[in-house]
Amino acid sequence: MSRETDARMVVDQLLKDAGWDIFDKSQVSTEEPAADGRADYLLKNSLTRPLCVIETKRFGKDPYGAKEQTLPYAQGLGAPFIILSNGNEHYFWDYGDGDARPIMGLPSQADLETRANLKYHRKGTLQETLAILPYPETFWFRGEQAEARQYQLECLKEADKALVTGRRRMLFEMATGTGKTLTIAMLMKRWFQSAAISRVLFLADRIELAKQAKETFDEYLKDWPTELLYGGKRSLEGQIVVGTLDTIAAQLGEGGFGHAYFDLVVTDECHRSIYNSHRATLGHFDALHIGLTATPSPGELRWVSDKERQLVKNTYMFFDCWDAATKRGKPTFAYTIQQGIKDKCLVPYKIYVADTQLSLEGTTWNEEEISATDWGRRAESEDRLKTMLDEFFRVETPRLKERPRKTIVFAVSDKQADMLAKLINRLLPDDLCLAIASRLNVSPGQVRESFAEKITSYTNNGDPKPAINRFKYDPLPYIAVSVDMLDTGFDHKEIETLLMLRPTKSAMKYAQMRGRGSRICPKIGKTEFWIYDFVGNVARFNDSSIDYRTPKEIGQGGGGGGGGDGPGPGNEWVVIPEGQKEDEIRNQHMILVGPEGLQIDRHTYQDEWAAKVSELHKADPVVQKIFAGQQVSEEEWEALRRRLDAPKNYFSEVSLRKAFEQPTGSLTDFIRAALGVFKFPSREERIERVFDAWVTQHSSSLNPGQATMLRLLKQRVLTGDTIELRIFSQPPFSIYGGRARMEQLFGKDGLAQVVEELNTLLAA
């Protein structure tokens, strides 16, 4: 049976690991007499004054339960901190500012002294100290006086409230273009001034983003030095340390950053960090944790990836803002793209959707099948790209005649990007070329050769920074063709056009790409930005059907099959020369998404529906009848429909079906679900039931090969695909022989019948 002395042996070693000399009584004393007992350990500061009481329990006993026993010891000895441990689990308790919290290791003497000094420098309690500080209505930034936006002040207030109530983890969701880094700098300054923190770690996703953050901190936080870490052993740092997760992870061992070195850890683009070793890196620090992201939850967008859905849930759980009852994240503060557009802090956008025959169906070349998901990854057709770019110039030319507009083209691969840059320069209309040359006072030849430029990680022998600077600061190029370089962390207010030629199944990736154009820029008279989508991203994520007052039917949108991100398999690159495979535009249309079309997102709509039904349940006799399962007359139904389908939310059956993604839900279903007496099946459950029912119905005639293909088909539908004959030419079916194999298994007419029957069941 384990004893408390066994746990103390572990604690002794942990103290040594943290730099304590356990044999020096001026640092560590044991069995220290205290109120009604003895403290197992008393840790002292460099002046031998009490700093922290440690209470140990035997292995297997929850040390959290020793709070009440230990608190009088610490108070009697005048130690501001308590550590509770059983050798395996450890809790740190700053008993004046919150509850005991789990820690991964013990703090050093210097780090504990720093934290104690913070408490001594406050003017009363933390809440009282913060209350004295005014919020920064105006401030100097980059040489001019700036005015804090209302949502930034609201974010500071919500963060203060969370801090004084003892919350240690917070999540800020702020749409791209709303100034996450500046907002967190405003918060850091406030917390530095209130002695809530003294050292901050800012973690960036990439070194380029770390440099951008340092620039902001150097400007706004001049009194608190910022150091950028590149790797290697750490030296003397400033009060703010900026680095990437990989760099910091390499500096957590002996001689590296201790568990309590930082008081605040800020993780930018945090949804990418809560997994694998990075989660352990964040967990190493006993600090306030703030996550920043534009897209842990896509809000009005539809999920199509279960893996991404789980990643988002993990993000919310790490930052203690996952609501298990509603299965939704509840961030500390959120400011969406919809709110930004409505408040005129972001610009609205228009979407032009089109697809081409080859994009949708794929083709064959030299007796090899090329699926729709192969485009840009292992094969490309010059005719396909030219068809899309000709359509782009046809629609965009009136805007280009007003003035050339900075444009990002999102490409699939480096080789496709080469083809695109070359074609864009070639296809630039002559009259536009001459007009731009006259405007810039350069030769038409210069315009022709530099109108578009590829910017990928391979550019300039792996140093794309000069190309990025040319795009940002020089008149030419106007178009940057990018692969995984400009979709996140690239902040250029003058971007007015986005051309999506890269399909993705990541709602977060799509939201980040979309966000490149959302920043306001009065300098150039920017009032909106345009998205040209030739690969079905808009339809895949249900962008634009955000206005539930007048839901839009936008069709399935472009093709590309929605394949994954990245170059894919390393097969030989196949180019189908121009003139060899004719292509044509299909299904083109414009979608307007302005301030009125972005009034409310899906989650807000769902929450307001629940609140409305709860309100009606108290006073509306018809809703009370529905709750009780009683009959409702047609006249009563009509009167209720009119009351619901009215300003401000227009709760109609059609709108509710869209908002909740329940295509067959009735008004009764939605009311009963809001009242908690009915539960809609999830999208995944509906798909499972449809396939199970179909297989059961046809079980007597199904052979093993057919059953295997149906299982693969179900997985494709679960990830967001619609059932069309073209998908049988794409992975994973292409691995098993593609559409030809499917027609061999089911027969040509039989396969078409399977598609029709399953689609009918899914729509029912």
Do 539 and 558 meet the contact criterion of CB atoms below 8 Å apart?
yes
Question: Residue 236: its pLDDT value, please?
Answer: 55
CA geometry: angle 130, 49, 263, nearest 5 deg: 35
Domain span at residue 242 reads 126-335
- The number of angstroms, rounded, from the C-alpha of 68 to the middle of its chain's C-alpha atoms is 41
- For residue 565, the model assigns a pLDDT of 42
**What CATH code is carried by the domain that includes residue 299?**
3.40.50.300
Length of the chain measured in residues: 764
Please report whether residue 117 resides in a domain.
no
Query: Which pairing describes strands 240-244 and 200-204: parallel, antiparallel, or unpaired?
Result: parallel
Q: Is residue 116 part of a domain?
A: no
> Looking at residue 566, what is its pLDDT?
40
Q: Where are the beta strands (DSSP E) in 405-503?
A: 406-410, 452-455, 479-482, 495-500
CATH code at position 84: 3.90.1570.30
Q: Alpha helix (H) ranges present in 582-728?
A: 602-619, 621-628, 634-644, 653-660, 667-674, 683-697, 704-718
Task: Collect all residues with Cβ–Cβ distance below 8 Å to 491 and sequence separation of at least 6.
Answer: 177, 212, 519
Predicted local confidence at residue 582, as pLDDT: 92
Question: What pLDDT score was predicted for residue 548?
Answer: 37
Same domain for 694 and 630? no
Place of tokens 């936080």: 221
Please state, in angstroms and rounded to a whole number, the distance separating the CA atoms of residues 359 and 342. 35
Q: Are 574 and 380 in contact (CB under 8 A)?
A: yes
Identify whether residues 499 and 373 lie together within a single domain: yes
Residues 6 or more apart whose CB falls under 8 angstroms from that of 654 comprise: 551
The reply to whether 153 and 203 lie within a common domain is: yes
- Residue 179: which of 239, 133, 219 has the closest Cα? 219
How deeply is 618 buried, as exposed, middle or buried, from its count of CB atoms within 10 A (0-12, 13-18, 19+)? exposed
285's CB contacts (< 8 A; 6+ apart) are 201, 257, 259, 260, 261, 262, 265
Question: End of a domain among 625, 647, 674?
Answer: 674
Domain contains 120: no
**How many structural domains compose the chain?**
5
Task: Flag whether 515 is in a domain.
Answer: yes
The residues, any chain, with a CB within 8 Å of residue 470's CB and separated by 6 or more, are: 453, 476, 477
Q: Angle, to 10 degrees, between the axis of helix 653-660 and the axis of helix 602-619?
A: 130
Helices (H), 204-253: 207-220, 245-249
Spans of the chain, pLDDT less than 50 = 1, 545-570, 594-599
- CA-to-CA dists, residue 492 to 53, 241, 486, 519, 593, angstroms: 52, 25, 10, 8, 21
* 518-560 pLDDT tens trace: 999 999 999 999 999 999 888 887 665 444 333 332 222 223 3
What tokens does 747 get? 């027969």
Q: Where are the beta strands (DSSP E) in 104-213?
A: 138-141, 144-147, 169-174, 200-204
Give the per-residue pLDDT at 329: 85
The answer on 461 and 526 residing in a single domain is: yes
Question: Are the beta carbons of 759 and 723 closer than 8 angstroms?
Answer: yes
Q: Kind and range of the H or E element at 424?
A: helix 414-427
Q: Give the residue from 643, 697, 699, 695 showing the smallest Cα distance to 671.
A: 643
CB 177 within 8 A of CB 297: no
214 in the same domain as 321: yes
Specify whether 256 is located in the same domain as 347. Answer: no
| Residues 609 and 690 both lie in one domain | no
Closest CA to 254 of 18, 526, 544: 18
Residues 152 and 257 both lie in one domain? yes
The Cα 149–Cα 518 span in angstroms is 16
For 707, the token pair is 């059953």
Buried b vs exposed e over 371-398: b needs ≥16 C-beta within 10 Å?
A: bbbbbbbbbbbbbbbbbbbebbeeebee
pLDDT of the residue at 555: 27
Last residue of a domain, one of 674, 704, 738: 674
The values of phi and psi at residue 450, to 5°, are: -125, 5
Same domain, 574 and 701: no
Q: What is the pLDDT of residue 599?
A: 43
One domain for residues 276 and 420: no
In tens, the pLDDT along 198-227 reads 999 999 988 888 998 999 999 999 999 999
CB environment 8-32: b (16+ within 10 A), e (fewer)? bebbbebbeebbbebeeeebbbeeb
Q: Would the pTM count as exceeding 0.85? A: no
Distance CA 628, CA 68 (A): 48
**Do 359 and 422 share a domain, yes or no?**
yes
In a domain, 118, yes or no: no
pLDDT of residue 556: 26
Instruction: Please work out, in degrees rounded to the nearest 5, the angle formed at the alpha carbon of residue 236 by the alpha carbons of 234 and 241.
Output: 70
Question: Is residue 634 situated within a structural domain?
Answer: yes
Position 113 in a domain: no
Helix (H) or strand (E) holding 379: strand 379-381
* H-state helical runs in 251-336: 276-284, 306-318
Paired tokens of 393: 């110039």
Count CB atoms within 10 A of the CB of residue 429.
13
Q: Of the residues 657, 674, 691, which one is the last residue of a structural domain?
A: 674
Same domain, 535 and 415: yes
Q: How high is the pLDDT of residue 726?
A: 78
pLDDT value for 302: 65
Is 181 a domain residue? yes
